[in-house]
Amino acid sequence: MGSFEFAPAPRPPGLNARYERNGHQVPVSIGSLMTRNRVEFGALTAVFDGDVRLTWRELADTAGRFAGFLGSRGVGPGDVVAWQAPNWWESLAVAYGIWAAGAISAPVVPIYREHEVAAIVAAVRPACVVTAADFRNCRHPELVDEACRMAGWEPSVRVVLRGAATGWTPFEATMTGRPEIAADIDPDAPALIGFTSGTTSGAKAVVHSTRGLIASPVRSTRTSGTTWTDRAYMPAPVAHATGLLSAIAVPLYTGASVVLRDRWDADQAIDDILAYKVTTSAGAAVFMKELVDALDRRGMDRLPLPGGYPCGGSSIPTSLAEATEAKGLAPARAFGMTECPGVTGSSPRLDPPHIRLATDGWIMPGCEVRVLGPDGAELPAGEAGEFLVRGPQLALGYIDPEHTREGFTDEGWFRTGDLGFLTAHDTGGGEVRHSCQVTGRSKEIINRGGEKISVREIEDALVRHAEVLDAAVVPAPHERLGEQPAAFVQLRPGAAVEPDGLASFLRAGGLAPQKIPRIWKYVDDLPRTASGKIKKYALRESLAGSAPA
């Protein structure tokens, strides 16, 4: 079997005990939560997938049978199960079943192909692989077989969803036994391996424990008021952090239900939100923008989401957040990452618009944020620097020990690479809370002759232009000053705006001359990760031949 070897990052003694004492962590197993939901919410719907509707009892029993199948094949604690599947109900059964067997889940987004999957297989050495027979004109069993050959690793068990493939066990054939749920699973052992989106560099393998994974939904019951009466809409991949938390972790802890879609379409989303009485969703800014545009096309003034639309992972212009608020979607900007999701956030049920729309939210209960200057000294509120974070949902570390050494301090802080500042707010009664404002990534700051320019400031100004659908700014080489801003612009269909017109618009908006791009690239689409974030590294690479100005 694929025995998993891993060295966690340093963590101060007593930190988990403090989180647990303050109610920010609970030492539970996935299996115990499944059993609880089966009993308490058994007749309630857990998941909608097209014409398929499963109750919590049905989903728990299906996951338990898959867990029993894994156990019968020798897959259990310490073994990794890698699964690449769309947003199908079977994906939830597989995810819960892996944890019910005590194994480690390694979800892989469906858009990855042989190169990326081979790297993941080589990193995690899975005892079992699971994938869809066909999805979007791709035969995934053959893809995974080839990736395993490239990685030089042979999983002992292969399971295929919704179809057949030579050498693969159909998912239906795993359902023949009795449901089984492993007992006494260590909540601090590795339970999940996630892969970063790779917007500024290659993806990294991040390891979470059950305790850390469940810390996010533990908090959402308090800060967002999520309960079993809520219904989430999730078209983002359940194999990625946003989808995994919204469609798998939060429903498991709260008993909420989820509506799955295996592809994003703004018009379909509107129809689904209305038909299924959805209360909440989540996603990147690009999806929020497309929802607003679709509502405008249909002449709809509002699409209420009482539980709100948490939005993070990339820059969210205040103008977009305000437009989304006007449509009733109650957006809530947030800051987090695969290594430490939900560092900041807010709730339409609790927080005013000026926090939700104009900042990246409050520092969440149990989380700590430090802001460091270039010399490593900690900066006070109001001064910008690099964020270091720590909290109950922080990952154990990376699979690669070198990545762990680079990313984590000896005191258990994670170096995010994100830049920004904190603002102190007097909330009354002598209490002070801090909101967070992300200004960019350290790799996205433009160093123009020693002057630091935030790409986010330029992007926010560009997307205010009526003809600009989206924009991304990256550092480009400059012969004398070292770096300068380069803008990649996606115009609205049928629009035509020359670079001089965009530059004039930025100047009229008050941007300083040194922030006006002199390199302009028009694109039909911006390259994105599976979660919708822009791949800035791909844009920088495309500038390699650009002549410096």
- 437 and 531 belong to one structural domain: no
Residue 414, classed as helix, strand or coil, is strand
User: Would you say residue 261 lies in a domain?
Assistant: no
Is residue 449 predicted with pLDDT exceeding 80?
Answer: no
Q: Which of 210, 206, 211 is nearest to 366 (CA)?
A: 211
Q: What is the pLDDT of residues 94-106, one digit of tens each?
A: 999 999 999 999 9
Q: Are 121 and 113 in contact (CB under 8 A)?
A: no
Count CA within 13 A, CB hemisphere, residue 122: 14
Last residue of a domain, one of 178, 198, 223: 223
Residue 324, classed as helix, strand or coil, is helix
At 243 the pLDDT is 92
**Where does 358-463 show beta strands of DSSP type E?**
362-363, 368-372, 385-390, 397-398, 414-428, 431-441, 446-448, 451-453
Is residue 200 predicted with pLDDT exceeding 50?
Answer: no
Burial class (CB in 10 A: 0-12, 13-18, 19+), 276: middle
Q: Domains in the chain: how many in total?
A: 3
Instruction: Name, in order, each residue with C-beta under 8 angstroms of 247's C-beta and a sequence gap of 6 or more.
Output: 87, 92, 232, 234, 238, 258, 260
- 204/92 Cα distance (integer angstroms): 24
User: Would you say residue 128 lies in a domain?
Assistant: yes
- 432 and 493 belong to one structural domain: no
Is residue 49 predicted with pLDDT exceeding 70?
Answer: yes
- 167 and 57 belong to one structural domain: yes
> Average pLDDT in the 243-265 region?
95
- 23 and 147 belong to one structural domain: yes
User: Would you say residue 156 lies in a domain?
Assistant: yes
Last residue of a domain, one of 223, 239, 262: 223
User: Would you say residue 138 lies in a domain?
Assistant: yes
What percent of the chain is modeled with pLDDT above 90?
A: 69
- 437 and 458 belong to one structural domain: no
Q: Are 123 and 399 in contact (CB under 8 A)?
A: yes
Q: Which residue would you say has higher pLDDT here, 312 or 363? A: 363
DSSP 52: E
List the domain range (segments joined by +) for residue 468: 454-542
- 169 and 142 belong to one structural domain: yes
Burial class (CB in 10 A: 0-12, 13-18, 19+), 477: middle
> Average pLDDT in the 48-76 region?
97
DSSP 450: T
Exposure letters 84-107 (e unless 16+ CB within 10 A, then b)? bbbbbbbbbbbbbbbbbbbbbbbb
At 548 the pLDDT is 45
Question: Look-up: residue for tokens 């939904």?
Answer: 217
Model confidence at 313, in pLDDT bands (50, 70, 90)? low
- 25 and 150 belong to one structural domain: yes
Pairing of strands 431-441, 414-428: antiparallel
Model confidence at 319, in pLDDT bands (50, 70, 90)? confident
Is residue 545 predicted with pLDDT exceeding 70?
Answer: no
- 437 and 459 belong to one structural domain: no
At 450 the pLDDT is 62
User: Would you say residue 402 lies in a domain?
Assistant: no
> Average pLDDT in the 210-214 region?
95
> Average pLDDT in the 313-317 region?
69
Is residue 549 predicted with pLDDT exceeding 70?
Answer: no
Is residue 113 predicted with pLDDT exceeding 60?
Answer: yes
Model confidence at 35, in pLDDT bands (50, 70, 90)? very high
H/E stretch holding 483 reads strand 482-491
- 432 and 474 belong to one structural domain: no
- 533 and 385 belong to one structural domain: no
Q: What's the CATH number where 189 sits?
A: 3.40.50.980
Q: Are 231 and 104 in contact (CB under 8 A)?
A: no
User: Would you say residue 250 lies in a domain?
Assistant: no
User: Would you say residue 467 lies in a domain?
Assistant: yes
Last residue of a domain, one of 190, 223, 256: 223
Is residue 138 predicted with pLDDT exceeding 90?
Answer: yes
Q: What's the CATH number where 532 sits?
A: 3.30.300.30
User: Would you say residue 251 lies in a domain?
Assistant: no
Q: What is the pLDDT of residues 384-432, one digit of tens each?
A: 999 999 999 999 999 999 999 999 999 999 999 888 999 999 888 888 9
Return the C-alpha torsion angle 118, 123, 127, 131, nearest 10.
-40
H/E stretch holding 220 reads helix 210-223
At 478 the pLDDT is 85
Least confident of 108-122, 197-211, 487-501, 515-529: 197-211
- 273/89 Cα distance (integer angstroms): 18
> Average pLDDT in the 453-461 region?
84
- 81 and 198 belong to one structural domain: yes
Q: What's the CATH number where 431 sits?
A: 3.40.50.12780
- 469 and 493 belong to one structural domain: yes
Exposure letters 289-318 (e unless 16+ CB within 10 A, then b)? bbbbebbeeeeeeebebebbbbbbbbbbbe
Q: How far is residue 496 from each of residues 328, 469, 473, measured CA to CA in Å? A: 31, 12, 19
- 234/464 Cα distance (integer angstroms): 28
At 504 the pLDDT is 94
At 202 the pLDDT is 58
What percent of the chain is modeled with pLDDT above 70?
A: 95
At 533 the pLDDT is 75
**Where does 97-141 show beta strands of DSSP type E?**
104-108, 128-132, 134-135, 138-139
Least confident of 179-188, 301-310, 316-325: 316-325
Q: How far is residue 409 from each of residues 194, 335, 344, 370, measured CA to CA in Å? A: 20, 20, 21, 12
Q: What is the pTM of this model?
A: 0.84
To the nearest whole number, what is the mean pLDDT of the chain? Answer: 91
